[in-house]
């Protein structure tokens, strides 16, 4: 059974930092392209950061220079370091594992940026 379990969300003030973690089980982790997406109230789910083929990374323009995606294949875990957080970063953040024919999602982790 595939499980993606996010952790690390919470409430933070503008300008603060959080690190999200996503622990994967039930998949051959290194073979999957891992990524983070988010969905704010009333909006569509959008890409935040992903690993592309060859190990390169893609970021949404809105988070470039502030967020960093990383992975530890030995721990089957992907991370999202979020710095200089803004109110508009408030959303539910979802972990995604994808390869041809397979697409898995975590349950989501709430991130709220507010003073």
Tell me, what's the pLDDT at 54? Answer: 76
Tens digits of residue pLDDT in 48-85: 999 977 779 999 999 999 999 999 999 999 999 999 99
For residues 60 and 62, what is the distance between their CA atoms, to the nearest angstrom?
Answer: 5
Q: Is a pLDDT exceeding 90 seen at residue 47? A: yes
For residues 52 and 57, what is the distance between their CA atoms, to the nearest angstrom?
Answer: 6
Q: Is a pLDDT exceeding 90 seen at residue 45? A: yes
When pLDDT is cut at 50, 70 and 90, the band that residue 89 belongs to is very high
Q: Within its chain, how far is the Cα of 30 from the centroid?
A: 16
Tell me, what's the pLDDT at 17? Answer: 98
Tell me, what's the pLDDT at 77? Answer: 97
Tell me, what's the pLDDT at 90? Answer: 98
Reference 46, options 60, 32, 34; nearest CA is 60
Q: How many CA atoms lie within 13 A of 60 on its CB side?
A: 15
Tell me, what's the pLDDT at 52? Answer: 78
Reference 39, options 77, 84, 97, 94; nearest CA is 94
Query: What is the percent of the chain where pLDDT is above 70?
Result: 99
């Amino acid at each position: 059974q595939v499980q993606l379990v996010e952790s690390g969300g919470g409430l933070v003030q503008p300008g603060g930092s959080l690190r999200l973690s996503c622990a994967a089980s039930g998949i051959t982790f290194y073979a999957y392209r891992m990524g983070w997406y988010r969905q704010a109230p009333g909006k569509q789910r959008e890409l935040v950061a992903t690993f592309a083929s060859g190990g390169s990374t893609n970021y949404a323009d809105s988070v470039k220079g502030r967020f960093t995606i990383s992975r530890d294949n030995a721990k089957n875990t992907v991370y999202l370091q979020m710095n200089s957080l803004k109110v508009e970063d408030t959303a539910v953040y979802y972990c995604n594992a994808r390869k041809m024919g397979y697409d898995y999602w975590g349950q989501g982790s709430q991130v709220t940026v507010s003073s």
